[in-house]
């Protein structure tokens, strides 16, 4: 399969515009990705022609949307190589998926004195839901350390696993450091002690091949909007044996089997966890986005993004006083940095005026920033449609901005 970045860019209408009369250079892909025309077309087509609520209608439009939604579920299943399509639950995104697991898992399995383990590099979405349930059930949240280069400290990880631990939650790829964790090894360590794992794949699925069976993940979660799909749709993968054991989360339509005022019985998987009208058109568009990634080739995407990262990191290292936060050998296309005596926010604001979109702040990893003793970082994150020319422009403008701020 040949990878032609110009052809790819042509599929993303939003990239072909100017902001402040400058060509847009979008380097904020870890926050959200742009959408290819084919995903936009699917949304348009479904709202123009096919929209009808799913699973409960006998009429043509409803059957059509139901079939398309279930076909999207199969696409997700194949994309992450889940064993069954009923192990794929549609949610609003990573955050909702983590909350769903945290709350239902805790209700069933967590009691006073138990422990839940996370790592220092987690996004707030993979910290706060666990903190909340720990507080509610009297459990303790334990934190695994990292090395200064941004790799998980395996000694700390192994030391955290004891008989009180009920679950370990860790990210596949760090949204701040870019570190690609060895999720297979982490999972295997946890499993040696019979501890299940939840893996946050929000920054992984769009950059690297994910096989939940090869990883042996118990739960794997991600958001559609970070993989070229719309906002408001996400995925919770759970092994059947776990999803079967968890109680339902939200109550309402769709998730039930029989309802009387005396007692309600619940629907089978995955519908037990999909109360109310789901974002079915979002799910269908997610299927389209995954087909787009599949047909482009995840290995080609990764090779392109890796080359961009190496190129950008080499150039940025030449600036005086710069420190890259996150230098793990296995890295995804995230480049976070700080510069001596200059606030990241000022850099972000001035770059914006040149048409460059980067993110500044703590990227929802405040404990990680505290640990590095930095108030925030500037983060440039690359996707399959970015180019070396854009990076050259970014470096040129960064140099000018730093001159101004000196």
Which residues in this chain contact ligand PLP in the complex, by CB under 6 A?
93-95, 123, 125-126, 171, 175, 200, 202-203, 223, 364
CB of 221 to ligand PLP, least distance (A): 8
Name residues whose C-beta falls within 8 Å of residue 324's C-beta, 6 or more positions apart in sequence: 313, 316, 317, 335, 336, 337
- Angle at the Cα of 181 (from 179 to 185), degrees rounded to 5? 160
CB closer to ligand PLP out of 93 and 355: 93
Taking the CA atoms of residue 58, residue 63, residue 66 and residue 69 in that order, the dihedral angle to the nearest 10 degrees is -170
CB of 126 to ligand PLP, least distance (A): 6
65: annotated active-site residue: no
Helices (H), ranges, 126-228: 128-137, 154-160, 183-192, 212-215
CB closer to ligand PLP out of 66 and 231: 231
CB of 65 to ligand PLP, least distance (A): 24
CB of 238 to ligand PLP, least distance (A): 17
CB closer to ligand PLP out of 181 and 354: 181
CA distance 317 to 324: 8
Name residues whose C-beta falls within 8 Å of residue 44's C-beta, 6 or more positions apart in sequence: none
CB of 225 to ligand PLP, least distance (A): 6
CA distance 183 to 190: 10
CB closer to ligand PLP out of 114 and 238: 238
Residue holding tokens 């309600």? 264
CB of 200 to ligand PLP, least distance (A): 5
Residues of 55-73 as b/e, b for ≥16 C-beta within 10 angstroms? beeeeeebebbbebbbebb
CB closer to ligand PLP out of 234 and 339: 234
Q: Which of 301, 364, 383, 401 is catalytic?
A: 364
Burial of 10 (0-12, 13-18, 19+ CB in 10 A): middle
Prior bond of 270 cis (ω within 30°): yes
Kindly list the catalytic residues.
364
């Amino acid at each position: 399969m040949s990878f032609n970045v110009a052809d790819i860019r042509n599929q993303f209408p939003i990239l072909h515009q100017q902001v402040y009369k400058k060509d847009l250079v979008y380097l904020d892909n870890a926050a959200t990705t742009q959408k290819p025309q084919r995903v936009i077309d699917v949304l348009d087509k479904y709202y123009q022609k096919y929209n009808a609520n799913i699973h409960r209608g006998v009429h043509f439009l409803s059957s059509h949307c139901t079939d398309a939604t279930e076909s999207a579920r199969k696409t997700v299943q194949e994309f992450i190589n889940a064993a069954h399509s009923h192990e794929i639950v549609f949610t609003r995104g990573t955050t909702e998926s983590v909350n769903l697991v945290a709350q239902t898992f805790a209700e069933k399995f967590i009691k006073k004195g138990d422990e839940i383990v996370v790592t220092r590099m987690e996004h707030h979405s993979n910290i706060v839901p666990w903190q909340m349930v720990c507080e509610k059930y009297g459990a303790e949240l334990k934190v695994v350390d990292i090395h200064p280069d941004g790799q998980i400290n395996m000694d700390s990880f192994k030391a955290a696993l004891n008989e009180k631990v009920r679950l370990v939650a860790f990210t596949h790829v760090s949204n701040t450091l870019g570190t690609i964790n060895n999720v297979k090894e982490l999972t295997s360590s946890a499993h040696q002690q019979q501890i299940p794992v939840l893996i946050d794949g929000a920054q992984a699925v769009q950059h690297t091949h994910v096989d939940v069976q090869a990883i042996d993940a118990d739960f794997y979660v991600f958001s559609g909007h970070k993989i070229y799909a719309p906002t408001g749709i996400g995925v919770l993968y759970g092994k059947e044996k776990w999803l079967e054991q968890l109680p339902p989360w939200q109550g309402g339509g769709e998730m039930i089997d029989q309802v009387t005022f005396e007692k309600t019985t619940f629907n089978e998987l995955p519908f037990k966890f999909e109360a109310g009208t789901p974002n079915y058109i979002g799910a269908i568009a997610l299927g389209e986005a995954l087909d787009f990634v599949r047909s482009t080739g995840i290995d080609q995407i990764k090779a392109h993004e890796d080359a961009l990262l190496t190129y950008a990191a080499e150039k940025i290292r030449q600036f005086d006083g710069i420190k890259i936060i996150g230098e793990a050998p296995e890295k995804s296309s995230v480049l976070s940095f700080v510069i001596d005596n200059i606030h990241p926010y000022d850099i972000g604001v001035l770059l914006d005026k040149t048409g460059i979109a980067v993110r500044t702040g703590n990227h929802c990893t405040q404990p990680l920033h505290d640990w590095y003793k930095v108030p925030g970082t500037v983060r440039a994150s690359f996707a399959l449609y970015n180019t070396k020319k854009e990076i050259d422009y970014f470096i040129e403008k960064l140099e000018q901005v730093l001159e101004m701020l000196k």
